[in-house]
Amino acid sequence: MGVFVFFTWNRINYLTHEDVDYTEYLGTNDQVPLGASIGRRRKLAAEGRHAEQEEDENCNPALYVCNHHGFLEVVTMHILLHPSFVAKYEISREPFIGAMAKALQCIFVHRTNQDQKNTILESIERRQVEIEDKRLPYTPLTIFPEGTTTHGKHLIPFKRGAFESMRTCVPCVHKFSYCHHSPTWETISIPDCIIMWLCHPGFCLSTLEMLPPFVPNQYMLDTHADKGASEWEIYAWCIRDIMRKRGNYELSDVSHREKLEYEKWLRK
């Protein structure tokens, strides 16, 4: 499937379990029966219900996770899913873009407000419950787990927002090619990036791969217990490893805080 937007040919590939093998992370069907995610099983058990008797959330996944370069993957996912996004608070104050983000019912994060973190996590899980369990007609939620934009060659460590609830997610991998100007925001402002992109004399190919839903299970936690100190860290490691292999990315341990320090240094 392809869509032409802003001097860009946006190609969308839908992949299945025949294209992407999750056996390394989730085990085989013989080892682990398919079913609800850990997070959903726990909630249903607390309500006295059995996951095996409930409809599988795979048919209606609430959460998509994707690497983040700039506006190309946002536009492509908007055309495809019309989702809400988890975005930094500053986006809400950007001209035009902020109005669109509010209309999409995005969840805005104050990075410097430590007290808001638990509230954000609760908001994310509540949206997942409303879509997967209550079957309410909300649009899905898209999270960029790196928490910032990168230049398209590396994956930096994932934050816990997308994984804390231990519910199903759909990994997405975004790649692009360009002639002269890279479409990544990276360390420049959004208006500057858009102006430079509109002056771009050539075309860009943007490819978004939608991988099959990933349902975290106990096999994942037991087999990859060395990948993190908590459950969400193990889950995040698995998704990052899958995206790394699919996108042929390199891994980087650079944190968002280090990126901010670099940006501050550039503006001196």
Query: What is the per-residue pLDDT for 159?
Result: 92
132-157 mean pLDDT: 87
4 domain-assigned? no
**Tens digits of residue pLDDT in 201-252:** 666 777 889 999 999 999 999 999 999 999 999 999 999 999 999 999 999 8
pLDDT of residue 3: 44
Whether 234 maps to a domain, the answer reads: yes
pLDDT of 165 higher than 90: yes
pLDDT score for 201: 64
Of 267 and 103, the one with more pLDDT? 103
Q: How far apart are CA 116 and CA 225, in angstroms?
A: 29
166 occurs within a structural domain: yes
Whole-angstrom CA distances from 198 to 107, 151, 180 are 28, 19, 12
Confidence check: pLDDT of 181 > 60:
yes
More reliable by pLDDT, 8 or 3: 8
CA 59-60-62 angle, to 5 degrees, is 140
Summarize the confidence of residues 132-141 as an average pLDDT.
87
Q: What percent of the chain has pLDDT over 70?
A: 81
Average pLDDT, the chain: 81
pLDDT confidence of 135, banded at 50, 70, 90? confident
Average pLDDT (169-178) is 86
Residue 32 has pLDDT above 80, yes or no: no
Domain-located, residue 51: yes
What pLDDT score does 228 carry?
95
Question: In terms of residue numbers, what domain contains 132?
Answer: 11-175+208-266
* Confidence at 31, pLDDT banded by 50, 70, 90: low
Mean pLDDT, residues 11-15 = 86
Question: Which pLDDT does position 236 carry in this prediction?
Answer: 97
Query: What does the pLDDT read at residue 53?
Result: 47
Q: How many CA atoms, within 13 angstroms, populate the side-chain half-sphere of residue 43?
A: 17
User: Quick check: is 253 in a domain?
Assistant: yes
Quick one: pLDDT at residue 50? 60
In a domain, 223, yes or no: yes
In terms of C-beta density within 10 A (0-12 exposed, 13-18 middle, 19 or more buried), how is residue 7 classed?
A: middle
**185 belongs to a structural domain:** no
How far apart, in Å, are the Cα atoms of 48 and each of 40, 51, 267? 12, 10, 56
Total structural domains in the chain?
A: 1
In a domain? residue 5:
no
Is the pLDDT reported for residue 151 higher than 50? yes
Does residue 112 surpass a pLDDT of 90?
A: no
Residues 6+ positions from 68 with CB-CB distance below 8 Å: 144, 146, 148, 149, 150, 174
Residue 66 has pLDDT above 50, yes or no: yes
Torsion sign over Cα 220, 225, 231, 237: negative
